[in-house]
Each structure stands twice: as C-alpha cells, then as structure tokens.
Amino acid sequence: MPASLPRNLITGGAGFLGSHLVDRLMEAGEEVLCLDNYFTGRKANIARWIGHPRFELIRHDVTEPIQLEVDRIWHLACPASPVHYQHNPIKTAKTSFLGTYNMLGLARRVGARLLLASTSEVYGDPEVHPQPEDYRGCVNTIGPRSCYDEGKRIAETLCFDYHRMHGTEIRVARIFNTYGPRMLPDDGRVVSNFIVQALRGKPLTLYGDGEQTRSFCYVDDLVEGLIRLMNGTHTGPMNVGNPGEFTIRQLAELVRDRINPELQFVFEPLPQDDPLQRQPWIELARRELGWEPSVPLEQGLEATIAWFRTSLPAA
Ligand code: NAD
Ligand code: UDP
C-alpha cells in the first residue's frame, strides 16, 4: 500500500494566501480541510474545489476550539491588511492569541505539525536593515498596529512554548509583504490600492512622502516557501519574502506606467507607526530550504494587474 498523503487543515483558507495554498495542495493530490469565518476571505477563492472528494469547507472562528483529525495545520487565519486588522483590534488580538492557542491545542492532541503564518511586523519599525531572524524588533505595544504586531509576537511565543513543553512540531514563517491575484479590491494594502485606483482612473494615494520602503513577494513564490518550510526540518522563525526593496513612490510609478501614465499622485498623511523601511534577510531560507523568490516585481505586477482587469467590479 502506498503511504497515505497528509491531511491538511488550512485556517484562513478562503483568504488571499490561504486559497493559493489550497490550490497547491489540492493539485498535489492531498486532502484539504479549509477553515474560515469569511471575515476577509471569500468562497469564490476556493469555489473550484467545492464538491471535490478530497476537499472540505468548514465555517468556523478560530477563537473557538475545534476537534478535527489532521496531520498538518497551516495556521493563516488572521486579517493581514492594516485597514482590516484595525477594524476591530480586540478581535484581531483574540484571533492571534486564542486562535493560535486553539490550533496548538489541536496539534498537540492529534500529533499534527503546525505552521504559523507570522509576519515581518514582529520587527515593527526596524532599526536594523535588512531584518535577520535574530533581530528582536522595535514594536510599539500601544499603537494602532499593536493588536496585529503584538498578536503575532505572542503567537510565536505560544508556538515555541508548546514546542518546548509538549514537543509539538512547529514551523514559524515570518512573511513579508506579499501580493498577487485574489487580493480584495477594498483590501487597503498598497499594491491592490494602487492597481484598483489606476484601473478606475483615479489618482494614486501615497501616504507620507512615499519614500518609505517595502519588499514585495509574489504569491506563488511565497506559497512555495511555506511548503518547503512545512516539509523541512527547521522550526524557524524563518523570513519568507522577496529581498527586492522599493520605495512606495517607485511602486506607484511602476503601476501607473503599466496602466495609465497620465495618472496623478496625491499625498495623504502617513499612518501612525508606519514602518519606514522593510527588507527581509533570506540567507536562512536559502540555506535551509534552498528557496529564494523567482518572480521580479515587474512580472508579478503584470500578472496581478491582468487578474484585476478581469475581476474588478464596476466602481
Ligand atoms: P487575508 O485577510 O486575505 O486572509 C486571512 C483569512 O483568515 C481570511 O480568509 C479571513 O476570513 C480568515 N480569518 C480571519 N479571522 C479569522 C478567524 N477568527 N477565524 C477564522 N478565519 C479567520 O490575508 P492574507 O494576506 O491571506 O494573510 C494570511 C496570513 O498570512 C495572515 O495570518 C497574515 O497575518 C499572514 N501574513 C500575510 C502577509 C501578506 O503580505 N499577505 C504578510 C505577513 C503575514
Ligand atoms: N500605502 C500608501 N498608499 C496606500 C496604501 C498604503 O502609500 O494606498 C503605504 C503604507 O503607508 C505603507 C506601505 O504603503 O507605508 C505598505 O502598506 P500596506 O498596508 O500594504 O502594508 P504594511 O504597511 O502592513 O507593510
């Protein structure tokens, strides 16, 4: 008898990253339980798998415990856009803490391996550049971003305490800004904002002077990194992101030039605690996983713009 393929639970599986991961695991012939409360996820993202014998969809909130038989837990459930995670910050903190606690409890009970989708936000507004995994970060504990940043930091802590106390198998990915098809048009994150504004013929909104930087990873590269981390032996924390660093103004120019070079930029106030710079150091992922991103920003933007052109509802 061939060894059976792993049974995967993907929390946040109807969201942007989660649904791409669902696709990859389903295409690999694995079993997938997709769990979501649809706060920022959409059934449309996983509609192609509904009714498939290896696919199951569960409407559930991770702040409540759940009993399931699974081998691998990909714990992605948590709003990722500042607009969404600040909508109800107490709920965001509960999702990060209680959600991770519940999923670790499940992992411990059934002997599953858990991968946490952590974030570059654990580094806050970094004084070290680029950010290596052993940098401990500069996070405001009481600002509007804290519910997310501190939520992910305690989620990482819980993972390592379950690992030390109970031997629970964990993998911690620190994901840097990722973009691609299936971002929500009203997501509020910069790549989708600029593309949607440009396609609608509106000015692009740059916060602050636009000189702050981010490093943008295309979703296919990111999902490949997560799969390699889950399948490998390193617990992490491990940075998963694209080290190509751009100012927000450069990103705006790239989007504008591809959609409508006539468009204007408008400058709006920089949100509180908005990090000035961000770039992943990815030597650990290169060494441990043999992974590095392969899709340059220009190419990933083309694919993302093409997707928004066909899927964007009329304003
Ligand atoms: P997303 O908002 O598209 O997806 C999050 C999913 O989780 C959604 O489907 C949402 O409905 C679901 N969800 C939220 N709260 C829930 C709850 N309490 N119970 C059950 N489901 C819940 O965001 P994304 O970009 O796909 O991010 C996925 C994960 O990756 C998040 O944990 C995020 O923190 C992390 N991450 C993403 C990025 C990025 O750039 N995309 C960067 C760093 C970290
Ligand atoms: N940003 C911007 N215009 C927008 C949306 C975002 O200039 O319409 C800026 C934002 O201030 C930040 C950067 O783009 O400096 C990335 O923002 P995003 O919300 O995508 O991600 P995060 O700040 O969480 O990295």
- Ligand 2 proximity of 37 Cβ (cutoff 6 Å): no
144 lines ligand 2 (CB under 6 A): no
Residue nearest to atom 6 of ligand 2 (CA): 190
CA 16–ligand 1 middle distance (angstroms):
7
Q: Among residues of the chain, what percentage have pLDDT more than 90?
A: 97
pLDDT of 91: 98
What pLDDT, in 10s, does the model give residues 159-177? 999 999 999 999 999 999 9
Asked if the model's pLDDT at residue 2 lies above 80, the reply is: no
pLDDT averaged over the chain?
97
pLDDT tens profile 213-229 = 999 999 999 999 999 99
Domain 7-311 has CATH 3.40.50.720: yes
Q: Is 274 in the pocket of ligand 2 (CB under 6 A)?
A: yes
Atom index in ligand 2 nearest the CA of residue 81 equals 19
Please check the confidence at residue 250 and state whether its pLDDT lies above 90. yes
Q: Whose CA is nearest to atom 44 of ligand 1?
A: 119
**Is the model's pLDDT at 3 over the cut of 80?**
no
Average pLDDT rounded to a whole number, residues 180-208: 97
Q: What is the pLDDT of residues 13-34, one digit of tens each?
A: 999 999 999 999 999 999 999 9
Question: Does residue 283 carry a pLDDT above 50?
Answer: yes
Residue closest by Cα to atom 23 of ligand 2: 274
Task: Indicate whether residue 124 lines ligand 2 (CB < 6 A).
Answer: no
pLDDT surpasses 60 at 1 = no
Q: What amino acid positions are annotated as catalytic residues?
A: 148
Query: pTM, whole model, 2 decimals?
Result: 0.98
Pocket of ligand 1 (CB under 6 A): 11-12, 14-18, 36-41, 61-63, 76-80, 95, 99, 117, 119, 175, 177-178
| Predicted local confidence at residue 311, as pLDDT | 92
- Distance from residue 192's CA to the centre of ligand 2 (Å): 10
Instruction: Give the nearest ligand 1 atom to 79 CA.
Output: 2
Rounded Cα gap, residues 94 and 154, in angstroms: 11
Q: Which of 40, 85, 189 to mutate to test the pocket of ligand 2 (most atoms within 8 A of CB)?
A: 189
Q: Using a 6 Å cutoff on CB, does residue 214 contact ligand 2?
A: yes
pLDDT given at position 4: 75
Confidence of residue 40 (pLDDT cuts 50, 70, 90): very high
Tell which atom from ligand 2 comes closest to the C-alpha of 120.
25
Residue 192 Cβ contacting ligand 2 at under 6 Å: no
Question: Which protein residue has the closest C-alpha to ligand 2 atom 4?
Answer: 190
Residue with CA at minimum distance from ligand 2 atom 11: 207
Is the pLDDT confidence value at 145 over 60? yes
Mean pLDDT of all residues in 188-203? 98
Q: Give residue 150's pLDDT band: very low, low, confident or very high (50, 70, 90).
A: very high
